[in-house]
Structures are given as structure tokens and as C-alpha cells.
Amino acid sequence: MGMDPPMGSRDSQVRIMEKTVANAEKYFGRFCSLMASYTRNVAKLRDKSDLLVRQLTDYANTESPELRNTMKSFAEELAKVQDYRQAEIERLDMKVVEPLKLYSIRLKQMRAELKRFNNTRSNEIKQLEKLARLRQEAPPHQHSSPQAEFSVHRAAADTSRTSKRLQETFDCFRREKLKDVQRIFSDFVAVEMIFHAKALEVYSDAFRSLHSYGSGKDLEGLSRPPG
């Protein structure tokens, strides 16, 4: 087994761990809030687009046959985009927002490990101070209290044990954090790429649908005399 690091070095390492966890809490919390807001805004856009589709369909029913068919076809293409947008919303929730929400659990576990170590470290310092005080107060030929020395050794063993557990937990946390950042934002980009690729196809069809319309037949029908 390797030797435990000196107290000063160990305390410095713990401060670095606490800063790393604090940064993760700060930024992952912001990411979660922003991505949840982003997803809600996509849902609002879907709702407005659904309304546009309904209005286009209603309008088409008031027009002459050729334009009516063209506008209905155009509205159907826009409705397909909203189906893809709904899938985008569901995937963003599942692959981005939820993992960011669950990250708070991992951060709480890391905080608990830090708290456990700090408590055992504080107890070790308390027992050392108590032993030092007893040694000062003891008669010249009595060096210390066996019970106090035992308490110091036990506290030091507790600190060593929790220190090793903390280091192992932190190393795992740091590795997983790097993987999670890569995975979550890769999933975000993938979801957006899939939606935009599908949407581009459908928008192209919608564009062609509009430009296939020829007003000749509708105008011809209007120019005929009644009766």
C-alpha cells in the first residue's frame, strides 16, 4: 500500500475537488435550464406552425379548385414538418434534458462524499488538538493519555479510509463527466441534424408544390360567363 499524502497536500486536493464539483453544479444546472427552455420554444414553434397549417387548410377551402388543391398540398407538407418537429421535441427531452436533470443526483453523491471526508478530517483535527492539550496539561513524567492517543489513531485511520474512497469516487466522477459532456451534446447535435435533414426534404416538396400551381385554369373558370 502507498503512503497517505501529507495533510496539507490532501486538503489542497480536496479544495480542487470541491471547485470541480462546484463548476459542474453551476454549468450543468445552466445547461439543463437552457436546454429545457430551448425544447419548450421548439414546442411553441410547433404549436404556431400547427395553427398555420389549419389556417392554410381553411383558406384553401374558400378558393378555386386549382389553388385549393395546391394550398391543401402545401399545408400537408407543412404538417409533415410538424410531425418531425414533434419527434425532435421528444428526442431532446429524452436524450438531452433528462440526462442533464439526472446529473444533479451524481453531483449530490459527490457532495456527500466530500462532506463525509470533511467530517472525518475535522474529527481527526479535533482529536489531535485534544491530545496536544492533554500533553500540555499532563505532569512532567506523564506524556499523554492512552485513550486520547487511541482516538487520534482511529480518527487518522478514518480519514485515510474516507480519503481513499473520496479519491476513487472523484476519479470516476471526473471520467464520467467528460464522457457525459461529449455524449449529451453529441446527442443534441444528432437530434437537430436529423430534424433539419428531414425538414429540408419536406420543405423542398412544399416549395415545388407551390410552384406547380398555374393560375390559368382558375382564371379561365372565372372568365366564363355565368349560366
**If you write DSSP's letter for every residue of the chain in order, what string do you get?**
-PPPPPHHHHHHHHHHHHHHHHHHHHHHHHHHHHHHHHHHHHHHHHHHHHHHHHHHHHHHTTS-HHHHHHHHHHHHHHHHHHHHHHHHHHHHIIIIIHHHHHHHHHHHHHHHHHHHHHHHHHHHHHHHHHHHHHHHHS-TT----HHHHHHHHHHHHHHHHHHHHHHHHHHHHHHHHHHHHHHHHHHHHHHHHHHHHHHHHHHHHHHHHHHT--SHHHHHHHHSPP-
Q: Which of 41-50, 64-73, 181-190 has the lowest mean pLDDT?
A: 64-73
Helix axes 65-92, 7-60, angle to 10 degrees: 160
Nearest CA-CA partner of 32 in 96, 127, 107, 84: 96
The residue with greater pLDDT, 186 or 227, is: 186
Mean predicted confidence (pLDDT) in 75-83: 96
Determine contact, residues 57/72, Cβ cutoff 8 Å. yes
Model confidence pLDDT, tens digit, residues 169-219: 999 999 999 999 999 999 999 999 999 999 999 999 999 988 887 655 555
66 vs 153, higher pLDDT: 66
Q: Is the pLDDT of residue 1 over 50?
A: no
* Amino acid at site 85: R
Q: To the nearest 10°, report the CA torsion of 118, 122, 125, 126.
A: -170
What's the confidence (pLDDT) of residue 123? 81
pLDDT higher than 50, residue 2: no
For residues 125 and 90, give the distance between their C-alpha atoms in angstroms, rounded to a whole number.
Answer: 52
Q: Please tell me which residue, 195 or 12, carries the higher pLDDT value.
A: 195
Contact 81, 137 (CB under 8 A): no
pTM: 0.78
Min mean pLDDT across 3-7, 8-12, 208-212 is at 3-7
Question: Which residues have C-beta within 8 Å of that of residue 223, sequence separation ≥ 6?
Answer: none
Q: List, in order of start, the domains of the chain with CATH numbers.
A: 15-210 (1.20.1270.60)
Is it the case that residue 95 has pLDDT exceeding 80? yes
Amino acid at residue number 199: A
At 66, the pLDDT band (50, 70, 90 cuts) reads confident
For residue range 109-147, list pLDDT tens digits in order.
Answer: 999 999 988 888 888 878 777 767 767 766 655 655 777
